[in-house]
Amino acid sequence: MTSKHTLPTPSPDDARLRAEPVERLRDDVRLLGELVGQVLREQGGDDLFQSVEYLRTTAIALRSGEQQGGDPEAEMQAWAQGLSTSRLLELVRAFSIYFHLINLAEQHHRARTLLEREQHERPLRESVAAGVAELHSAGVPRDAVIEHVRRLRVHPVFTAHPSEARRRTLLGHLEQASALIAHLDGLPEGTTRDAALDEMRTLITLLWQTAETREERPTVLDEVRSVLYFMVGNVYRVAPTVQRSIESALAQSFGSGAPSPGEIAPVLRFGTWVGGDRDGNPSVTPEVSRAAARMSRAAVLARYRQDVTALGRAMSVSQRLVGCSDDLLHSIEQDRTEMGLQAVSRWADEPYRRKLGLIEEKLRRTEVGEQGGYSTPEKLLADLEITRASLEAHGGRRIARGPLLDFTRRVQIFGFYLAELELRQHADRHTEAVAELMGLAGVPEYETLGYEERQAALEERLAGPPLAIPAPALSLPTREVLDTFRAMLDIQRSGGERACRTCIVSMTHAVSDVLSVLFLAREAGLYAWEGGDAPAVCRLDVVPLFEQIRELQECGAIMRALFASPAYRAVLHERGNRQQVMLGYSDSNKDGGYLAANWQIYGAQDALAQAAAEAGVELTIFHGRGGAVGRGGGPTGRAIMARPPAAFLPNLKVTEQGEVIFARYGQSAIAERHFEQILHALLVASPDGGTHNPRPPHVKWVSAMKRMAASSQVRYEQFVKQSPATLRFFREATPFPELGTLNLASRPVSRAKSPTDEVRLEDLRAIPWVFSWTQSRINLPGWFGLGTALAGEIEVGNLDLLRAMYREWPFFTMALDNSQFGLGTADMQAARLYSTLAVDGEAVFREIEEEHRRSVDAVLTVTGQGELLEKSPILARSIKLRNPYVDALHIAQIALLRHLRSLPDDAPELERAVLLDAVHHSINGIAAGLQATG
């Protein structure tokens, strides 16, 4: 977006491709900026272009300190304040498009750099091959390594939380732009490059003429379609590649002693909350859950048919040349007879094409529900196994272990459901339904009982048949809760138990919150138990979610009591003594602040692992992490290494939310790298022979962390929970009220009736809480209270202790390094501008500014750095380069907010709607510039 009119021309020796990586990225950015500038001139004329340039160059000069005389910042604000809404919207959209494209260029640069490293670095650092090689070099026995690999599980769960600000239409255009950026990379000068550049101009024009904001709030099924796009796209593509990398790594280290391809079960599993997460979302009904499951089933079956069609075209193996197995021929005749089909004469000598043609027809019938389709994915896998075995036995080993094996792995991973639809509901909703049923069964006032009394009442009544109370006798809310469990059973009947078997209980406080689920599930036929030592029948996994400070502190004791419950012990036995427990990073942060939440999450993992070990239970900790630091964000590998020693488990289950899904799964190479880094960390971070040997933290370190967590929580609670002025400031100095009207997702951003109601912290969802602070560049959830905690220890002479903790304790290292991203992307210069939107906001902002300064100084003192993110120079440089361009969006957003909030009550609705739409576009633009929402 510069004033140049000419495009950079590659030199004859193609020096651009041989330039340093940063220079190549800079060239890409410069080219894209110029193309955006050209389109702006075409679409808005020189007047628009000059306005963009004024805002851009002034913001750069302010950041660099080049402006002299007067008050250029005030002048720029006054200039923006005097612009029309339409011109401000144009400015916002110009910078937004620029950031969307620059983000793609950076993604492409990551993929390009990764490819170059793979060619020169063997094995690639933080890859599966590197992990296996490390274990082998450390002398870990082959059998131990292979057994460790067999136990690995990586289980991402996609959610539709409202933190992806971009429309699905826009994401489609950006995907095309991404492919074009990759295509342009290295194209020489000439007609081919000219055509590609012109195609990019066309795409930029499309972006310019496409509204970024939705006119209507997306439905739950719209969100399902968005997640399906990634699931049947790059996730489906890379899943078997990840498995190949594991087998290849074992073969490289152990040669003929490694398992054969296909012997190790796939390590990947996938889940989704989209269509199943009803906690606070009235739009997620049982029928919506059924529809979401049907859509996922149809999507994966359609992909299977595409794969089988391609396999059939390729599998031209001649029977008369190499033969085939009798089992294969028998299965072909059996399939043909059962489906009433005639033999295809033109494939008489090509049995594999015949078999795959029959598999395709079975899949078609499975899709439409005709007789002769597959009843289970295991039946499809049996057909594939017959095909593979015949190939292996008749000289076709390479063919069998190529695309056919990849397809087999996909069926093993995705089944007939693509991703397990997990159901989530607030514990209070379950309690209300149980109370109504208990009342009808002769136990009045259940809700008034204490937790232990509720547990006793449930244990007494869990044995025996369901109550089977007629639906008309129940309230509508209770009917809806019960129908949710019936929907789970319906989905299982269609896609198998793995299609929908997980019930997450939000805000779990006690054992009774888990037993309530069994009580309700019994009414749907998902659970049955006769009491005593009788075995239980259970078709669901109940997952307690601990997400506030107090519950994180008590979760170990709660799970011990649950494991001791006779009713639940029967369930555990039936479920293979496996238990999932979910930890909520977002609400714990909102409840107690950054450092306290991180410490309690750490302690909860340790307590849960110990409770599970004592009970002989195989534990999976489900991490409810978001993209922002205030919601548990940060490098996943680092988080794995930072777990307490008792919780060094061979599995990782984690939520993937909002814009993180696009960032991690928008490109195949990046998605594959993401999985490789997770697997590498799980491989080497093992107490049973890993190379990253976990040691319990020193007792002095634990004592210091307890003190710091407590002091940071006190500071956070004083500022956030106990100060009405802070929440008023939050509402006035951030675009939270306007964010509430942005059609991001089907789920409301607040439990209040409307975003304009008086803000109460308990009503706020964690994501918009983080999103709003991010927009105003305060990032409060990612650091507030940290400075007070660290400074307190430094003042009493514990600096050397803190430095030792930072050097030697992965948890503390992670906590401080992740905070640097929150502190580093926070910007008090921009935040000060937002503070002027708040009435009497000066005192609150002064507290924020002082705590930010205190936190930065303390972090630098402990880490020994000269500036934040010193160990992440590429990230630090990216933030500095982006800041002036994001400043331009801040200036425009603040002007728009002033216009909107100063409108009289009787202002025309059209004027208000136009202004609000412009603010919404500014929210999207800043999110793109910061690459962060919630």
- Residues with catalytic roles: 161, 590
Burial of 47 (0-12, 13-18, 19+ CB in 10 A): exposed
Cα distances (Å, whole numbers) of residue 233 to 64, 180, 230, 416, 424: 43, 18, 5, 16, 26
Q: Cβ neighbours of residue 447 under 8 Å, at least 6 residues apart?
A: 431, 432, 435
Q: What span, in angstroms and rounded, lies between the C-alpha atoms of 10 and 803?
A: 49
Cα distances (Å, whole numbers) of residue 815 to 376, 720, 811: 46, 21, 6
> Which is it for the CA torsion 754, 766, 664, 404, positive or negative?
negative
Which residue has 């002479």 as its token pair? 797
Q: Which of 250, 232, 263 is nearest to 410 (CA)?
A: 232
Which residues does residue 639 pair with via DSSP β-bridges, in sequence order?
A: none
Tokens matching residue 150 = 């067999």
Give yes or no for a contact between 249 and 131, defined as CB atoms under 8 angstroms apart: yes
Which residue has 């789970």 as its token pair? 488
Which residue has 């198998």 as its token pair? 496
Give yes or no for a contact between 591 and 548, defined as CB atoms under 8 angstroms apart: yes
Give yes or no for a contact between 248 and 129, defined as CB atoms under 8 angstroms apart: yes
Alpha-carbon 568 to chain mean position: 31
C-beta atoms surrounding 442 within 10 Å: 7
Strands 537-538 and 423-426, bridge-based pairing = unpaired
Give yes or no for a contact between 412 and 381, defined as CB atoms under 8 angstroms apart: yes
For the residues of 452-477, what is the DSSP string, one character each?
HHHHHHHHHHHSBS-----GGGS-HH
Is there a cis peptide before residue 123, judged by omega within 30 degrees of 0? yes
Give yes or no for a contact between 795 and 651, defined as CB atoms under 8 angstroms apart: no
Alpha-helix runs per DSSP H in 185-285: 191-208, 220-230, 236-254
The DSSP call for residue 223 is H
Alpha-helix runs per DSSP H in 315-369: 319-322, 326-339, 351-368
Give me the amino acid identity at 753.
K
Give me the amino acid identity at 217.
R
Q: Decide: helix, strand or coil at residue 689.
A: coil
Q: Decide: helix, strand or coil at residue 71.
A: coil
Any idea of the CA torsion for 601, 603, 604, 607, to the nearest 10 degrees?
160
Give yes or no for a contact between 489 and 524, defined as CB atoms under 8 angstroms apart: yes
Q: Cβ neighbours of residue 380 under 8 Å, at least 6 residues apart?
A: 304, 359, 362, 363, 374, 411
Give yes or no for a contact between 106 and 70, defined as CB atoms under 8 angstroms apart: no
Tokens matching residue 784 = 């507030």
How far is the first Cα of the chain from the last one, in angstroms, to the nearest whole number?
28
Which residues does residue 764 pair with via DSSP β-bridges, in sequence order?
A: 750
Q: Cβ neighbours of residue 273 under 8 Å, at least 6 residues apart?
A: 157, 158, 159, 160, 422, 424, 655
Give yes or no for a contact between 873 and 53, defined as CB atoms under 8 angstroms apart: no
Q: Which of 786, 782, 778 is nearest to 833 (CA)?
A: 778
Longest C-alpha distance within the chain, in Å?
90
For the residues of 573-584, what is the DSSP string, one character each?
HHTTSEEEEEEE
